[in-house]
Structure formats: C-alpha cells, structure tokens
Amino acid sequence: MADETDKRIADLINFYIQKARTQLKVEGAELVKSAFMLIQRDRQNQCLSDEIYSSAEHYLTARHMASYLSGPGMKIISLGYDAFKLFGGTKGVEKLKLGNNCPASELTARQTKWKLLGASDGNAEMFNKDKYIQPVSAENAELRAIGGLNYPGL
C-alpha cells in the first residue's frame, strides 16, 4: 500500500512528464528523457535534495537509462551508486554534489525503491514503447521495484 510520500513522488514524476510533453512537445522515448532533464535542472538550480525530489529524479533517471539497457543492468548500476553513497563516506557523497555546489541527497530506502522501480518500468518500456504515455502509480511500488509484478501498467 502506497503511503502519502509515495503518492507525492508519483505526482511529481507525472508533473514532470506532463511538463515535458506540453512545454517541449515531445513523446515516446524523448518524453522520459526530457522529464528527467527538467527535474534535474530544477533540483540543481534550486538545491532541492529532499526525499521527494531526489526519489522522483532518481526514478526518471533510472527509467530513461533502463529503457536502453536490457536485463538487470540499470538495477546493478543503481545499487552500485547507492553503495558508493553509503560506503564512500563523506568523500563519496562530496563527489556527488549537484550543480551549483548543492549537497547530494541522503541515501534512503524510499529513494532506492523508486530508483529500482524506474529501472523496472524502463526495462518494460524497452519492449513496449507506447507505455511512455502512461501515468506513474505508487501502487504496488515495492513489488514492481524488485520485478515481482509483470509491469501492471504504470
């Protein structure tokens, strides 16, 4: 069951997907990529590193990249990034600063869940490109993130 924070993350992701669609007039593979670039720009310009923004950006990053990688590639990259943040200590996090010298977000289980969910959704899109137009849902996020459900229609 999705909690209020997961619903806010899903709403933010959908906001940026819609923003990319209306402002940049893109569809298909370019839609998720453009949504990722828009949220990344906002996070860097405004130093937004709270859990909601960071989870939404990590979801869009993973979803975009995974739509080009087959199998578990993006999930492995995502977990490697988390390990670097977790075990790299202060120096590891310092190297991950956002633009304008903003601090990187703290690693949270929710952020990892949404990153893995983005990778699962991106992998599904690799084989079914029309799924780009579907809104993101927080429902069943935990199962979808680990691949426990067979892409129940974003």
Report whether 63 contacts 118 (CB < 8 A). Answer: yes
- Print pLDDT tens along the chain (154 aa): 578 999 999 999 999 999 999 999 988 778 889 999 999 999 888 888 789 999 999 999 888 888 777 667 777 777 777 777 777 655 555 555 555 667 777 788 898 889 888 888 887 777 766 555 566 776 655 555 555 433 333 3
3-state secondary structure the chain: CCCHHHHHHHHHHHHHHHHHHHHCCCCCHHHHHHHHHHHHHHHHHHCCCCHHHHHHHHHHHHHHHHCCCCCCHHHHHHHHHHHHHHHCHHHHHHCCCCHHHCCCCCCCHHHHHHHHHHHHHHHHHHHCHHHHHCCCCCCCHHHHHCCCCCCCCC
